[in-house]
């Protein structure tokens, strides 16, 4: 599942391709990804609108739309879910299999492809409003991290992934930032002292920032499956592609040597997710 860095790289790539375009038509091929509105309501709401910007918070992406002769913008939110992908293609190209939604943009079109239909396209803003601070926003300070961790018995890794508290970290980057900060994934979030909170806050910035930097260096065009669409960057439906594995310190590296101390990396089940960590570097205090 794409996490904050992947969605930010996607946003940076899409923005120059989409800003200034007008939505000439809107088609829903998989009604399940449109909710709570009906496909017709969504079509009526966006057709004829211009795209003024592409925004992101946490793992959510949105298009800032404006109606003709209006300056007021409103978001069309797109959540990629597990397997959702966005492509900008020529309108004459054949549609990819599993296309869920198509926004016609004159000679181009924006295609939302979603094999498993866990993604979502909506004009409703509740999901955005329920998100905690974006993990890379300037408002997300060490104090805010402390506030997100206060008064809970939840393990730090589980809390880090709760989008209502901090938006953007999923299973992969939660493992990565905890290793970088040398924090055990199993320790209760509220037990972390200030020194550890500072290290973790730094690790979040450093890890996500570095991943975005790496992603922006790749020549991605998001034109479709099998081209330079970032499949090797996003990984496939079954997980991260082999080429992207080298980006990670611990995630997906069970049994390999920890890059810090050389001990074997361990995989454990935690809240039904695979947690990768170094038992030597990441001890509970």
Task: Tell me the chain's radius of gyration from C-alpha atoms.
Answer: 20
* Catalytic residue check, 279: no
Active site (annotated) includes residue 227: no
Minimum CB distance to Zn ion, residue 205 (Å): 21
- What is each CA distance from 116 to 32, 150, 151, 169, 276, in whole angstroms? 10, 36, 36, 21, 26
For Zn ion, the binding residue among 24, 260, 267, 273 (CB under 5 A) is: 260
Minimum distance from CB of 178 to Zn ion (Å)?
Answer: 12
- Residue 218 contacts Zn ion per CB under 5 A: no
User: Measured from the CB atom, is 121 or 278 closer to Zn ion?
Assistant: 278
Q: Is 228 in the site for Zn ion (CB under 5 A)?
A: no
Question: CA 71 to CA 67: how far, in whole Å?
Answer: 8
Q: 212 vs 281, which CB is nearer to Zn ion?
A: 281
Q: What are phi and psi of 276, to 5 degrees?
A: -105, 130
Q: Does 281 help bind Zn ion (rule: CB under 5 A)? A: yes
- Number of residues in contact with Zn ion, rule: CB under 5 A? 7
Enumerate long-range contacts of 37-42, CB under 8 Å, 24 or more apart.
37/122, 37/123, 37/124, 41/123, 42/121, 42/122, 42/123
Whether the link from the prior residue into 224 is cis, omega within 30° of 0, is no
| Residue keyed to tokens 């939840």 | 154
Question: Which among 23, 21, 39 has a CA at the least distance from the CA of 31?
Answer: 39
Residue 67: active-site member: no
Token pair for 280: 């030597």
Residue 216 within binding range of Zn ion, rule CB under 5 A: no
State which of positions 122-141 bind Zn ion (CB under 5 A).
none
Cβ at position 266, least distance to Zn ion in Å: 10
258, 275, 276, 277: which one binds Zn ion (CB under 5 A):
258
Catalytic residue among 56, 57, 59, 113: 59
Q: Which is nearer to Zn ion, 227 or 264 (CB)?
A: 264
| Footprint of Zn ion (CB under 5 A) | 258, 260-261, 263, 278, 280-281
The residues assigned a catalytic role are 2-3, 59, 273
């Amino acid at each position: 599942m794409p996490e904050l860095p992947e969605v930010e790289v996607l946003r940076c790539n899409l923005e120059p391709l989409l800003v200034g375009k007008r939505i000439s038509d809107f088609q829903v091929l998989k009604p399940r990804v449109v909710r709570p509105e009906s496909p017709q309501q969504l079509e009526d709401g966006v057709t004829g609108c211009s795209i003024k910007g592409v925004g992101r918070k946490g793992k959510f992406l949105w298009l800032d739309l404006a109606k003709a002769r209006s300056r007021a913008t409103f978001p069309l939110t797109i959540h990629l879910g597990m397997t959702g992908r966005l492509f900008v293609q020529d309108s004459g190209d054949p549609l990819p299999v599993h296309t869920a939604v198509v926004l016609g943009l004159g000679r181009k079109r924006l295609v939302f492809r979603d094999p498993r239909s866990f993604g979502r396209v909506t004009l409703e803003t509740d999901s955005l409003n329920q998100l905690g601070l974006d993990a890379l926003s300037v408002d997300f300070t060490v104090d805010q991290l402390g506030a997100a961790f206060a008064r809970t018995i939840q393990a730090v890794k589980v809390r880090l992934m709760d989008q209502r508290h901090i938006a953007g970290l999923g299973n992969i980057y939660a493992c990565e930032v905890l290793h970088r900060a040398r924090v055990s994934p199993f320790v209760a979030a509220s037990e972390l002292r200030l020194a550890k909170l500072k290290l973790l806050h730094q690790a979040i910035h450093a890890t996500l920032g570095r991943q975005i930097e790496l992603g922006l260096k790749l020549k991605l065009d998001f034109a479709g499956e099998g081209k330079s669409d970032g499949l090797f960057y996003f990984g496939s439906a079954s997980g991260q592609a082999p080429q992207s594995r080298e980006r990670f310190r611990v995630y997906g590296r069970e049994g390999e040597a920890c890059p810090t101390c050389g001990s074997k990396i361990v995989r454990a089940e935690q809240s039904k997710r695979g947690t990768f960590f170094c038992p030597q570097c990441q001890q509970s205090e």
